[in-house]
Chains A and B, each alone.
Chain A
Amino acid sequence: MVGLARTGDDGGVDVLDVARWQFGITTVYHFLMVPLTISLSLLVAGMQTAWWRTGRAKYLAMTKFWGKLMLVNFAMGVVTGIVQEFQFGMAWSSYSRFVGDVFGAPLAMEGLVAFFVESTFLGLWIFGWDRLPRRVHLACAWAFSLATMASAYFILAANSWMQHPVGVELVDGRPRLTSIWAVLTNNTVLAAFPHTIAGAFAVGGSFLVGIAAWHLWRRHRTTPADDQDRQVWRASVKLGGWVGVVAFAALAVSGDLQGKLMFEQQPMKMAAAEALCHTEQPASFSVFAVGDVGRPDCENVKSLTVPALLSFLAKNDFSSEVKGIQDLLPEYQAKYGANYPDDPRLGELSGKPIDYVPALPVTYWGFRLMIGFGAVAAGMGLLALWVTRRGRVPQGRWFPALGLLAIATPFLGNSFGWIFTEMGRQPFVVVPNPSGVDGVWMYTAQAVSSGVTVGEMLTSLIALTTVYGVLACVEFYLLRRYARAGVAAVLPGWGQPKPAPGAGDADDREQDDVLAFAY
């Protein structure tokens, strides 16, 4: 009976598995919208600033065009974010009880400091074009776009605490907050934040490059070089290309920093990222593998390794030792126990041995796909800058085709990065901090809501996945429609000759009362 049973002893589905799939699906989906929202809103604020300072029509057109695509995406990010705020309590109530004293604070701060600013000033920006002085309207753009960054900081601080708990002491079996400052300046979040923001800008950069390359290529054959529209697309390609290249550099630097922290803070995760079965000194970096990296003798499936590189990535020293999974296992068992506690709420896992090794194919390939897709995105940015240098535009169809395809790569890179880092910390939901805060850790199996049935969890998984699937199609349809239509669709009169002075004055007076924008 799925409807009432908590776990399927008959081999049916388990509430923990369903809850994990649901969290994975809803979070990865939400994080398709988030990076595009963060980067596009800041880029649009920048474009509007350029318009405000120079008064050039090109920048107004860019603000309107990219701003509209940003809004289509923003709405989806907002509504899928509500699910995130609710599902800790709904599906992970035991987790919420355990960490509430610490974890709730950054979440509440995100709401109070970031969400309110974001939602209010976005409304002012959308509807305020004719209601606000230009300077104030521009300030609204900066307010909501910076608020999206603030929001990212708070949520990453919360996530980083789960990867590396700090600023707490264990009281009555639960972490109690002793320093909010320690939580907000956790070295894990200080590295994760620039990495995530850079990942967001990689998305924004390739989005600009892909769509603008297509328009530029189309316009190039039909319009003169000084055509207004062409200038918009050229400026957008250039901006996107530079953003993509700089973002990748920032990704590499911050990612290296994160990697070194992870070797200290979560050695098993980094060993799993490499599928490093046995300790090596110096340790080599595997570029790819053929076969099952989850086998106990996984060294034998790896191809194309770079000697000593992993040692350098771990500790900035080409000859250092990096511990492998087989050698970390006894350490974990000695420190955190070999078996789950006897607790009926753990279901079938109660008293069973703990598997400390994350799903190696996921971590190993997730890590490589993250880097690979990120590199492809950066490569496209460089290529776009090169082929459009000094007023050139490639004639071939390959340029827009490649650009449009490459839009997907940083999205995929972000998703694989998150899948890697969240799956790589299993079986923990709160990873023990090896250098302090004794006793503060939690297994994912203990975190799931203890009072919720498999039936409820499955209902929400199916319902949310279905709705998300439908909305993904709708968003894609709208983005494509608006992206194809270009500036004229969002800026009436664009591309048409200016009316002679005096003409249409009477008309203007009547138009005074009409809203500049309405739903």
Chain B
Amino acid sequence: MDLATFWFIVIAVLWLGYLFLEGFDFGVGMLLPVLARDETERRVMVNTIGPVWDGNEVWLLVAGGATFAAFPGWYASLFSTAYLPLLLVLLALIGRGVAFEYRGKVDSPRWRATWDRVIMFGSWVPAFGVGLVLSANVLGLPLDAHGDRVGSPLVMVRWETLLGALALVGFCLVHGAAFVALKTEGDIRERARRLAVRIAPVALAPLVALLLVVQLRAGEGWTWVPLGVALLAAGAALVQLARVREGWGFAFLGVAVAAAVTTLFGALYPDVLPSTVDPANSLTVHGAASSPYTLTVMTWVAAFGTPAVLVYQGWTYWVFRRRIGTRHIPPVHVP
């Protein structure tokens, strides 16, 4: 395998890590007003992701940075073409990060309610926006020969990409509910598990539809395999959640998202960003890749960096492995 293809896979893996990890913490934020009945339960939910959400978000930054380093043209065309959707994602992520850190810093119901709204906005919007942009990337954008957008700023909003947006929103909802069921105890655990089981058939439908659309339009023969795995894993997750085996349910959702990302990036290859105007304008893995020297340098960095990241992020989850319930929440102590 050549270096350019290797880096295409690395970027797919970074997206996978991002969608798996931030998928559940988006879900937790989205479900905040649905699952929690009172302030203590809201704090239980927020604290299930408290120590980890920031580290999860870095996967997005690194996916962006790695795309810049390994495929500058891809980074430039995608980010400038998706200007407005990405702006919304940025605004939402800004608010969300600050909200987690600030919501408990003043003891006032209004203060907390305001930040809870920011957390909601900051979880729904980026899930929607990232789903939109990723599916548009896979299905193609109207690019001219320079790699610039042809058409209006909202040209990427089509039914297929809206389906992609709903696919990620739906996945985050189920994944988030499964995570809350896995990480909490008491009433809220049961509520979260039931919600996951109840909404999964509807919430995961757009993801299935998106995979089929992508497969039929751009898929390879072999991408039927991960597509099938994704469907089976999603079904298995549902069964496990229904049987009150939250850990297995959550793990199968992870398999589903891994298989879905494999299908999407498998269908994308050998392009990195197809042009819907003229196939000659499409950016390809080999056409858009950085020089072999740059890719070699980055490979060394990734070879040492990535295992380390996996080890210490995994360790964080181990340190905070305990379920959290309302009895663990300390009283508010702020000026």
Q: What is the interface of chain A, defined by CB distance below 8 A to chain B?
A: 4, 71-72, 74-76, 78-80, 82-83, 85-86, 88-91, 93-94, 96-97, 99-105, 107-113, 115-117, 119-124, 126-128, 131-132, 171, 176-178, 180, 345, 449-453, 455-456, 459-460, 463-464, 467, 471, 474, 478, 481-482, 484-485, 489, 492, 513-519
Q: Is the CB of A91 within 8 A of B330?
A: no
B contact residues, total (Cβ < 8 Å): 81
Q: Contacts A108-B298, A112-B302 given: A100-B320 contact, CB under 8 Å?
A: no
Q: Is the CB of A122 within 8 A of B54?
A: yes
Q: Is the CB of A120 within 8 A of B76?
A: no
Chief secondary structure at chain A's binding surface: helix
The answer, yes or no, to whether B106 is at the interface (CB within 8 Å) is yes
A96 CA to B78 CA in the complex, in Å? 11
Q: Is the CB of B330 within 8 A of A100?
A: no
Q: Is the CB of B290 within 8 A of A471?
A: no
Q: Is the CB of B90 within 8 A of A91?
A: no
CB-defined contacts of A467 to chain B, threshold 8 Å? 91, 94-95
CB-defined contacts of B93 to chain A, threshold 8 Å? 79, 82
Q: Is the CB of B87 within 8 A of A460?
A: yes
In chain B, what residue has the closest Cβ to A345?
Answer: B146
Residues in B70-92 with C-beta less than 8 Å from chain A: 70-73, 75-81, 83-84, 86-87, 90-91
CB-defined contacts of B291 to chain A, threshold 8 Å? 101, 171, 176-177
Q: Is the CB of B316 within 8 A of A120?
A: yes
Instruction: Tell me which of B67, B98, B327 has the highest count of chain A C-beta atoms within 10 A of its own C-beta.
Output: B98
Q: Is the CB of B83 within 8 A of A464?
A: no
CB-defined contacts of B309 to chain A, threshold 8 Å? 112, 116, 120
B100 to chain A, nearest CB (A): 6
Q: Is the CB of A126 within 8 A of B94?
A: no
A162 CA to B247 CA in the complex, in Å? 49
CB-defined contacts of A120 to chain B, threshold 8 Å? 52, 54-55, 58, 309, 312-313, 316
Contact with A along B298-335 (1 / 0, CB 8 A): 10011001100100110010011000100111100111
Among B52, B61, B72, B330, the residue within 8 A (CB) of A518 is B330
Q: Is the CB of A481 within 8 A of B335?
A: yes
Instruction: With A451-B147, A513-B327, A518-B50 given, name 15 new contacts (CB 8 A).
Output: A89-B78, A89-B79, A94-B76, A97-B73, A100-B69, A101-B294, A104-B65, A104-B290, A112-B309, A119-B57, A122-B54, A126-B50, A176-B293, A452-B149, A516-B330
B37 to chain A, nearest CB (A): 18
Residues in B278-302 with C-beta less than 8 Å from chain A: 290-291, 293-294, 297-298, 301-302
Q: Is the CB of B97 within 8 A of A89?
A: no
B49 to chain A, nearest CB (A): 9
The answer, yes or no, to whether B102 is at the interface (CB within 8 Å) is yes
Q: Is the CB of A75 within 8 A of B68?
A: no
A492 CA to B47 CA in the complex, in Å? 20
In chain A, what residue has the closest Cβ to B333?
Answer: A492
Q: Contacts A120-B316, A124-B51, A515-B330 given: A75-B97 contact, CB under 8 Å?
A: yes
A499 CA to B326 CA in the complex, in Å? 27
Top 7 closest A-B pairs, CB basis?
A100-B72, A89-B79, A451-B148, A485-B335, A104-B69, A104-B68, A75-B101
A168 CA to B297 CA in the complex, in Å? 14
Residues in B242-257 with C-beta less than 8 Å from chain A: none
The answer, yes or no, to whether B104 is at the interface (CB within 8 Å) is yes
Contact with A along B115-147 (1 / 0, CB 8 A): 000000000000000000000000000001011
Q: Contacts A131-B319, A450-B148, A482-B335 given: A104-B72 contact, CB under 8 Å?
A: yes
A453 CA to B149 CA in the complex, in Å? 10
